[in-house]
Amino acid sequence: MIERYNIPEIDEIWKNKYEVWLEVELAVLEVMHEDGKIPSDALERIKKKARVRPERIEEIEKETRHDVIAFLKQIEEEIGEDAKYLHRGLTSYDVVDTAISLMLLRTIEIIEKDLEKLLLVLKKRAEEEKYTVITGRTHGVHAEPTSLGLKFYSFYSEFLRAKDDLLRVKEIIRFGKLSGAVGNCAHTSPGFEKRVLEKLGLMPEPVSTQVVPRDRIARYLFTLTLIGCAVERAAYEIRHLARTEIGELEEPFLPGQRGSSAMPHKRNPIVCERLCGMARMLRSYLGVSLENISLWNERDISHSSTERIILPDASILADYMIRKLTWVIENMRINRERMRKNLDITRGLIYSQRVLVFLMEKGIPRDRAYTIVQENAKKTQRKDFLTCLLEDERVLEVATPEEIKSLFEPEYYIRWVDEIKRRVDG
């Protein structure tokens, strides 16, 4: 991941993969010791001496052209003759895949905490704005009044599902393997594998090949992609409502910030635009992870190079997006005056469905009522919708002017906000 968008806590997890490889190797040695296959003094010497030196590993790899062998040779240099116990009966991906599961789990813990912060911010905004009336839009066109708080509750509800997905995928990822070169435990045993993995907080892959099946990783990437899509949806809404013609929301604009090199007045929604672009990147990573599921026979290496990129980068990108959206939602500017003004742009047409329902309740057949409302709507280029209705004898035959006027109250459209909120809160 480029430094501009880096999340150091996650970056460190993936940069220190050799440390996690060593963690796996040491867990194997501990179970070997329990089985009497390695003396106590040898195990203690190994634990004391075994140190990862990334520069030396990279130097050895230039010759071996194999990173796990380079790692093992470097550890052997540290521990001397006790290296005879190291990596016994294992294949490279026993270590690599088990370590990947550990790194993914540690990454998920960070993402989970940041997702929780976003949920708190969204819920706070939703509560603050639940009675703020805003124009609802469908197809980009004014529809009916709604609540700004409901928009935030909608985002909140989606991220709650994302959190549930993340918790589920955490359990899907919690599998490692120490089953050898083709997954048949030829040089270990299923019991041995289970005990080692338990020490690491993992479970054995029920049926592995040389690798843990890649559908598990694809499910992780799919979860991150859904999180990215949720971020994108919120960012799109903010961008849309920040347009000059609308001006209802505005992402934070900091002191000293510049919007354009040419136009000093510009206050562009650059963070939300960035988040929308990043969502596209996340979706592209998902495609790669899906391609990685089908490997030749017990395994080929076509997935390996891509995972070195997509696993850390997608994880960092998703968490960066969560953090940035949290900042935007927490610090955004809400223009309630503009919202109220925009309600009147259509000269009352946003109340057309309420008028339609009212006329039907008065006994006018739906098709005829629809025609009456639509014909009056077409007249609003010259006068407002309410005036048109008050001048229509067909309407006045079934309703008093006071009844008609009562249909033009925006608060009517937010009367169920608290009930909807209770459904979200469970």
Residue 139 among the catalytic residues: yes
**What pLDDT, on the 0 to 100 scale, is given for residue 365?**
96
Per the residue annotation, which of 33, 66, 157, 260 is the catalytic one?
A: 260
Query: Model confidence at 425, in pLDDT bands (50, 70, 90)?
Result: confident
For the segment 55-110, what is each residue's pLDDT rounded down to a tens digit? 999 999 999 999 999 999 999 999 999 999 999 999 999 999 999 999 999 999 99
For the CA atoms of 372, 378, 379, 384, the dihedral, rounded to the nearest 10 degrees, stands at 90
∠ CA 51-55-59 to the nearest 5 degrees? 115
Per the residue annotation, which of 87, 92, 101, 139 is the catalytic one?
A: 139
| Domain range 349-407, CATH class | mainly alpha
Residue 206 DSSP label: S
CB count in 10 Å sphere of residue 19: 14
Q: What residues contact residue 167 under an 8 Å CB cut-off, 6+ apart? A: 112
Q: In the predicted model, what is the mean pLDDT of residues 28-46?
A: 97
Residue 111: is its pLDDT beyond 90? yes
**What pLDDT, on the 0 to 100 scale, is given for residue 426?**
72
For the segment 146-192, what is each residue's pLDDT rounded down to a tens digit? 999 999 999 999 999 999 999 999 999 999 999 999 999 999 999 99
**What pLDDT, on the 0 to 100 scale, is given for residue 350?**
96
Domain borders along the chain are 101-175+210-251+266-335, 349-407
Helix (H) / strand (E) element for 33: namely helix 17-34
Instruction: Please enumerate, as own/partner, the contacts of 67-70 that have beta carbons within 8 Å and a separation of 24 or more.
Output: 68/21, 68/92, 68/95, 68/96
Residue 154 among the catalytic residues: no
Percent of the chain's residues with pLDDT above 70: 100
Report CA-CA distances (Å) from 183 to 89, 91, 190, 271, 297.
12, 10, 10, 46, 11
- Decide whether 101-175+210-251+266-335 matches 349-407 in CATH topology: no
Q: For the domain with range 101-175+210-251+266-335, which CATH number is right: 1.20.200.10, 3.40.50.1370, 3.40.50.720, 3.40.50.11540?
A: 1.20.200.10
- C-alpha 308/C-alpha 299 separation (Å) is 17
**What pLDDT, on the 0 to 100 scale, is given for residue 353?**
96
**What pLDDT, on the 0 to 100 scale, is given for residue 255?**
85
For the segment 372-404, what is each residue's pLDDT rounded down to a tens digit? 999 999 999 889 999 999 999 999 999 999 999
For the segment 221-269, what is each residue's pLDDT rounded down to a tens digit? 999 999 999 999 999 999 999 999 999 999 988 788 887 788 888 888 9
CB count in 10 Å sphere of residue 224: 29
- The two tokens of residue 69 are 């062998």
* Residue pair 281/263 in contact by the 8 Å Cβ criterion: no
Handedness of CA 290, 296, 297, 301 (dihedral sign): negative
For the CA atoms of 182, 184, 186, 189, the dihedral, rounded to the nearest 10 degrees, stands at 130
Helices (H), 174-303: 190-199, 215-241, 270-291
